[in-house]
C-alpha cells in the first residue's frame, strides 16, 4: 500500500499540479486501495511474506482472570491465548486499509465542488460540441461562484467547444486569448481560466512559504519590514526564476535601473 500512497504524496508536492490532475490521482489511488481489500490479496501477500521471512512468531498473552477463578482460589495466571493467528493479521491488514481510505476520502471530500474544471478540459471539447453541453457543471460553478454571468458563459463556451483552434490546455488557451486580444470578447471564459489556474491543488505552496520564512527571518533580520520580508521570501521561493534571469546576464542591470528610477538620487546610477 505504501507503493500507492508514496507516489501520490510526491505528486501532490509538485508546484505544477492543477486541481483536475489532483482529483484524478486521488481517485485512482483510492480505487487501487479499495481493490486491495480482499481475502485473495491478503492471502497472496501473507504467503509471499512467509516465503521471504518465514512464519511469524506467535505472540501469546495471558488472559484476564475471571471472578470465578478468585472464588475457587485458582491461579491468577489463567489460560494462554494465541494472538498470532492468520485471522489477526488479516484484521490488521483490513483495518489499515480502511483507515487510509477513510482519511483520504474525508481529506478530499470537497473536491466534488470543483467538478466545474471539466468545463475547460480540452480532451472532451469535441464531445461537448457533438453530444451535449455540460449543464450540470455550469450549475455547480454558478452555485459556488455566483460572480459569473451564466448565459454569457454558456455562449462563450459553445464558441470554444466548436472551434478546434481553442482546443488547448487551460494555460495555453489563456495565453492565446491574451495574445490575440480576445479577453474582452471572451471575458467570462478568461475569468474561468484565471480561476482554474489560481486555485492551488494542495497546501504545498503555503507550507513551503513558512519553511522559507523560517530560514529568512533570523535573529539579525528580526526587525525587517513586512514589504522587504515578503520580497526576500519571494526571491527565495522562486530561486529558479532568479537563476534563469541571471543566466541571461541582464539581471543586475535591470535591478539597478529599477532602483535608480524609483526616486531622484544624488549618485548617478544611469549613464547615457
Rounded CA-CA distance 28/22 in Å is: 10
Digit-coded pLDDT (tens) for 169-192: 888 999 999 999 888 989 999 999
Q: Which domain covers residue 157, as residue numbers?
A: 112-198
Q: What total of structural domains would you count in the chain?
A: 3
Digit-coded pLDDT (tens) for 6-54: 777 776 666 555 566 777 788 888 888 888 888 888 888 888 888 888 7
Give DSSP secondary structure letters for 111-159: GGGGGGGGGG-GGGHHHHHHT---HHHHHHHHHH-TTS-HHHHHHHHHH
Examine residue 67 and state whether it is found in any structural domain, yes or no.
Answer: no
CB distance 60 to 74 below 8 Å: no
pLDDT value of residue 218: 74
Residue 8 shares a structural domain with residue 34: yes
Digit-coded pLDDT (tens) for 79-119: 444 445 788 888 888 898 899 888 888 877 777 777 788 88
Average pLDDT over residues 61-87: 51
Distance separating the N- and C-terminal Cα atoms of the chain: 66
Residue 193 shares a structural domain with residue 152: yes
Rg (CA), the chain: 30
Examine residue 215 and state whether it is found in any structural domain, yes or no.
Answer: no
Examine residue 194 and state whether it is found in any structural domain, yes or no.
Answer: yes
pLDDT value of residue 201: 56
Residue 116 shares a structural domain with residue 45: no
CB distance 60 to 84 below 8 Å: yes
Examine residue 148 and state whether it is found in any structural domain, yes or no.
Answer: yes
Examine residue 21 and state whether it is found in any structural domain, yes or no.
Answer: yes
Phi, psi angles (nearest 5°) of residue 60: -120, 140
Examine residue 232 and state whether it is found in any structural domain, yes or no.
Answer: no
Residue 180 shares a structural domain with residue 254: no
Residue 90 shares a structural domain with residue 172: no
Residue 39 shares a structural domain with residue 129: no
pLDDT value of residue 58: 59
Amino acid at each position: 500500500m505504501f507503493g500507492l500512497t508514496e507516489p501520490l504524496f510526491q505528486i501532490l508536492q509538485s508546484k505544477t499540479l492543477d486541481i483536475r490532475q489532483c482529483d484524478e490521482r486521488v481517485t485512482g489511488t483510492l480505487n487501487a486501495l479499495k481493490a486491495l481489500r480482499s481475502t485473495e490479496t491478503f492471502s497472496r501477500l501473507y504467503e509471499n511474506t512467509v516465503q521471504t521471512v518465514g512464519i511469524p512468531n506467535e505472540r501469546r498473552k495471558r488472559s484476564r482472570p475471571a471472578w470465578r477463578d478468585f472464588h475457587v482460589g485458582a491461579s491468577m495466571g489463567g489460560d494462554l491465548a494465541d494472538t498470532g493467528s492468520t485471522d489477526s493479521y488479516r484484521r490488521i491488514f483490513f483495518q489499515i486499509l480502511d483507515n487510509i481510505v477513510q482519511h483520504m476520502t474525508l481529506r478530499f471530500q470537497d473536491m466534488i465542488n470543483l467538478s466545474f474544471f471539466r468545463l475547460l478540459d480540452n480532451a472532451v471539447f469535441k464531445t461537448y460540441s457533438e453530444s451535449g453541453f455540460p449543464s450540470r457543471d455550469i450549475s455547480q460553478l454558478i452555485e459556488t461562484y455566483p460572480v459569473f454571468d451564466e448565459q454569457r458563459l454558456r455562449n462563450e463556451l459553445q464558441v470554444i467547444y466548436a472551434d478546434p483552434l481553442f482546443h488547448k490546455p487551460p494555460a495555453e488557451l489563456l495565453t492565446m486569448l491574451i495574445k490575440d486580444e480576445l479577453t474582452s470578447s471572451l471575458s467570462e471564459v478568461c475569468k474561468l481560466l484565471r480561476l482554474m489556474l489560481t486555485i492551488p491543488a494542495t497546501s504545498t505552496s503555503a507550507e513551503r512559504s513558512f519553511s522559507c520564512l523560517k530560514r529568512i527571518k533570523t535573529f539579525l533580520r528580526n526587525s525587517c519590514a513586512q514589504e522587504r520580508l515578503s520580497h526576500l521570501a519571494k526571491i527565495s521561493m522562486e530561486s529558479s526564476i532568479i537563476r534563469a534571469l541571471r543566466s541571461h546576464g541582464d539581471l543586475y542591470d535591470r535591478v539597478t535601473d529599477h532602483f535608480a528610477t524609483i526616486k531622484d538620487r544624488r549618485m548617478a546610477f544611469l549613464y547615457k
